[in-house]
Each structure stands twice: as C-alpha cells, then as structure tokens.
Amino acid sequence: MKIQNATKQKKQAQKILKKTTLLLFLSATVFIFSCTKKSKVDYDLDISETLRWHVATEPPSLDWTIATDTTSSHITGLLMEGLTRHGFKAAEVTTEPNLAMSWESSKDMKTWTFSLRQDVKWTDGVAFTAQQIIDGWERLLNPKTGAEYANFLFNVKNARAYLEGNIKDFKQVGVSINDKGQLIVALEAAQSYFPSILAHHSTFPIRKDLIEKYAGKWTEPGNHVGLGAYKLKIWDHDKAVVLERNENYFGKKPKIKYVLGRIITELSTALNMFKIGDLDVVDDFPSPEVRMLRDTKEYRLFSILAVYYLGLNVKRPPLDNVKVRRALSMAIDREEINNILEKEKIPAYNIVPPGLLGHDANIGLKFEPETAKKILDDAGYQDRSKFPRLQFGFNSSENHQRIAENIQAQLKRNLGLGVELVNEEWKTYLKSLQANTYQMFRMAWVGDYPDADTFIGLMVTDGGNNRTQWGNKRYDELVKLGVSESDKEKRKQIYFEAQRILNEQEVPIIPIYYYRAHRLVNARIKNYPQNVMDKFDLDDTEIIK
C-alpha cells in the first residue's frame, strides 16, 4: 500500500477520528444494534441462512461419551440425539420420546422397556440400531475410556462392577435386546426418573465401526457422523465450528440451514462483534456492560438450573482441616460478589438450585466474618503469617477474573489470608483439575436432568466430576437412598441431610451463586431457545429475512 501525502493524510485521519469517536459515542449511549438485510458471505455461507453464535472457548471434545463441558454439550446436542429428550413448553421440564418412541417400567420401577424408532439413519446413511445404544453404554462404562459421566449408569445392574473390573463380560450388565427389538434395562434400585437421564449426551448411541477406524480423529469433519438436526461441516480449530442442516433428520426439520459458532475467548471482543452485527447471539459478556444492555430489546435474562462454586482440595494442606474450609466459606460475602455481577445472580449457600425438590435456602454457612476469624483461630492459625498462601485456579474469562479478584480481596480483608490467582485457557484448565493442581478452583454445574440428584450426586466419593478428593460414607448412602425413594417428602428430607453434611459440616465446596443467564439476541433471530437447562435446541428458531 502506497503512503499518501503526510499533510493530506493527517487531515483525513483527523476527520476519520472525529467520525469514529461520534460513532463509538452513539454505540455506547444509544446502543443501536445493526441488523443487515444485505446478504454477506462468511466461511462460504450465506449469512441470510446462517445463525452466527458466540462460542467462548474451543470445544474440548465433540466425543459425546466423554464430553463434560457446556460448550461441547451445546454443539453435540445439535449433532446427536438420545433415547429421550427434554421438553420445555410445559410449566415443568418434561421427558419426551426421541430415538425411543415409547417406554414402560415394571411396577417396582427396576425394569424399563424402550421401543425404538425404525426409520432413523445416521448422516452417512447407516441405520440406527439398538446395538449402537449398547455399544455406547459399554464404551461409557469401559474403564479405559475414562468417561466422567460413567456414574450416570451406576444404577444399571452390574454397571459399576463392570467399570471397576469385577465383571469382565459386558453381557452381564443389565442392558439387552429382546426378540421384538426393544431395549431392556434392569436396574439395581427403583429410579422413577431413569428415562430423563437418557436425554444426556453421555448415554447416546455410538458408531463403534468409525471409532475403531479413525480412533481420536473420528470427531473431525469427514469422519464424524450423527443422528441430529445438524451435521459437522467445518471445525476450524480455535476459530470456528460450522454445522449444516441434516436434510435426512428424523425429527422436526430446523428452519436455519447453517450454524456458525465463532470461537472468541475475549467477552468484550464478542460483544463488540455483536454491536456491529457480526454475531447474532452472545451468551456472556463483561458484567460492567449489563447496566447499558439490560434495557435493550436484544437483552434476555432467565434462570437456569446451575450453580457456581469453589472447589476445595481436601487432600492439600491447609484445606485438609475442615475448620479452615468452614472459615473460608463464612468469610465470603456472596451478596458482594452478586453486586459486582450487577445483581444478576442469586447468592447460593448450598448445591441444589431453587425450583428443585431438595432446595432449602436455610441450609449452608452464611456470611459471618467474625465467626470465621474465631474458627480459623481454633484451627491453629491465630498467627495469620503462618497460614500458607492459597493458590486459586480458574479458567480465563473477564467475569471469572472479576469474581476471583473479589474473593481474593475478601479473604485478605476478612481473614488476613493471601491468595495467589492463576488463570488458564479452558482445555488446559481441565487438565489441571484432573491433575489436582490447585488448592482452590472455580467450577460450575448445569443440571444434566431436572432432578436434585444431578447436583447431589456430583459430590459422591470418587465421582467423575468430584475434583475435591472428598468423600463421605454417610453422604454416599444418602445419595443412593435419594435415587430409589419415591415418596417426595422423604426424598426431600434425605437431600436436606446430605446438604447439611456437604455445605455445613464438611464443606469441600463453597457455593457462590445460582445462575440467571443473560444473553443478547439479534433482532433478525426469532424464537431463540431459552430454558432452565440452557439447552441449545433450534427446532423453532428462524431468521427473519
């Protein structure tokens, strides 16, 4: 590019700067979002047929058997289907037919029979079969897979024994196919909500032939197949994921042809792209922006079944001392944290969110800094200079950073403790959690099904998603009792007792808040999904042209 005359260039630059400043001012105060009618092209996609969605991080895995994070779950939810699915049009979350047309249970709810659809094909044209469900469950329970959601099937007869190596032949596990082609599942104990669990991606069928052929590359475009409303077209790692409508989908055909998930780790960058019309949906953005955004027509705020919490590694001193853990919990003011998040969340003191059987706002340790000081004294740390500096890990995000810095300041102010903050990119952070790197760490959990068990069961001894190394025999017993108890009042009391152990007595985690999700949706997008489980279901979504 040739350089223009310096004086002329300077005058032009000043004009451009004035215009740019004016535009930025209008954008910041009036906040007019662009919604172009003109057809643009991105990744060779016609934008008039493309939903452009902000993805906050590279998906760790599109292998639905082993995926554990919400990013991977949202994408695989469009690429794949399970025996059942969740419905959100009624007042309560429902469990609806999907690959299974219908199901029934024995009177004791320990044997379930699923009748499967016969008209379903994978995106490569291969027919869906009951055996593919069994293959998926065998892979989920295979200890070599290392699937963190294997515990979802522990109530299936002999499932845990197979995972732990006490049974070698998977045919001894309680899942089989009868002579009518129905799937028969035998459970260890009654479980009224068992069909609801089967809407979770970890229980989905697999194509064993392709996994064996391509190994770790089976999730790449060209190798990947699914049963979902969309198929994988492009995975430009760390940049974008492109999904294309599956024209042979057995369910309701989506109206939108393409989904372009742009991978943008900086929330402020994603927000700016939304403002200029380069993104249609942004699921998160810096909290200081909320005041300006909440009065716009593009803004959405809704509750979801999710909890944000701090995990404490109970094997790492000084957090191996329960008094220290209790003191930390009582020294953190959740209301203060909610204030820096523009009061969009609900302060939490126990693990079960509002709206589920088993929630009780009175359970948990409340903010009592003076009591916290005394408990820490009793733990042997009257001299705070002898208290080791804590390392607090979290995945990179402007909001996570803001929360971590506030907790760091509160623990210094209220207990005189030093905390070192360490942030990592999401995939690296997950590896650090698996290696038990941190004494304290940030985590969040979105309900996998609409039942308190998905939260209570998270913290069982040696649970795949229990990163605290904590275990408690009585707690484990209560979780098992809660699964099989059909009386609602008794079940509620079981979960109350479990939470008192978890959130008052032992404290391996410190709940911070229950989620209310905020989102920005471009005016050209109609009927974008909004539900308590934050499911990314585009059945009714369309683009206004």
The DSSP code sequence of 225-244 is: --SSSEEEEEEETTTEEEEE
Q: What is the pLDDT of residue 13?
A: 39
Is residue 7 pLDDT above 60, yes or no? no
Q: Which residue has the tokens 């059987």?
A: 357
Is residue 3 pLDDT above 60, yes or no? no
Q: Between 169 and 5, whose confidence is greater? A: 169
> Minimum mean pLDDT among 177-181, 220-224, 536-540: which range?
536-540
294's CB contacts (< 8 A; 6+ apart) are 301, 342
Q: Is the dihedral of CA 337, 343, 346, 347 positive or negative?
A: positive
Q: What is the pLDDT of residue 120?
A: 98
Q: What are the tens digits of pLDDT across the range 199-226?
A: 999 999 999 999 999 999 999 999 999 9
Neighbouring C-alpha atoms within 13 Å toward the C-beta of 92: 9
**Above pLDDT 70, what percent of the chain?**
92
Q: What is the pLDDT of residue 134?
A: 99
Residue range 161-189: mean pLDDT, rounded:
98
Q: Supply the DSSP symbol for 96.
A: E
Q: What is the pLDDT of residue 503?
A: 99
> Minimum mean pLDDT among 194-203, 207-216, 290-299: which range?
290-299
Bond prior to 318 in cis (omega within 30° of 0): yes
Is residue 167 pLDDT above 90, yes or no? yes
286's CB contacts (< 8 A; 6+ apart) are 267, 268, 271, 398, 399, 402
Chain centroid to CA 134: 25
Q: Between 4 and 133, whose confidence is greater? A: 133
pLDDT tier at 12, thresholds 50, 70, 90:
very low
Q: Between 124 and 36, whose confidence is greater? A: 124
Q: Nearest-CA neighbor of 440 among 335, 310, 351, 331?
A: 310
Q: Nearest-CA neighbor of 135 among 227, 206, 58?
A: 206
Residue range 280-306: mean pLDDT, rounded:
92
Q: What is the pLDDT of residue 486?
A: 82
Q: What is the pLDDT of residue 126?
A: 98
Residue range 64-76: mean pLDDT, rounded:
95
Rounded-to-integer distance, Cα 422 and Cα 426, Å: 12
Q: Are strands 419-424 and 94-97 parallel, antiparallel or unpaired?
A: unpaired
Q: What is the pLDDT of residue 41?
A: 59
Q: CB neighbours (10 Å) of residue 387? A: 18
Q: What are the tens digits of pLDDT across the range 228-247?
A: 999 999 999 999 999 999 99
Residue range 484-509: mean pLDDT, rounded:
96
108's CB contacts (< 8 A; 6+ apart) are 190
Q: What is the pLDDT of residue 285?
A: 86
For domain 81-206, the CATH superfamily is Dipeptide-binding Protein; Domain 1 (3.90.76.10)
**Residue 52: exposed, middle, or buried by beta-carbon count in 10 A (0-12, 13-18, 19+)?**
buried
Rounded-to-integer distance, Cα 454 and Cα 533, Å: 12
**CATH class, 303-517 region:** alpha beta
Residue range 253-280: mean pLDDT, rounded:
96
| Domain range list for the chain | 41-61+215-300+521-543, 81-206, 303-517
Q: What is the pLDDT of residue 112?
A: 98
- CATH code for the domain defined by 41-61+215-300+521-543: 3.40.190.10
Confirm if 73 and 304 have CB atoms less than 8 A apart.
no
Q: What is the pTM of this model?
A: 0.82
Q: What are the tens digits of pLDDT across the range 317-331?
A: 999 999 999 999 999
Is residue 313 pLDDT above 50, yes or no? yes
Q: What is the pLDDT of residue 90?
A: 72
What's the Rg (C-alpha) of the chain? 25
Rounded-to-integer distance, Cα 521 and Cα 109, Å: 43
Confirm if 114 and 185 have CB atoms less than 8 A apart.
yes
Is residue 30 pLDDT above 50, yes or no? no
SS3 145: coil
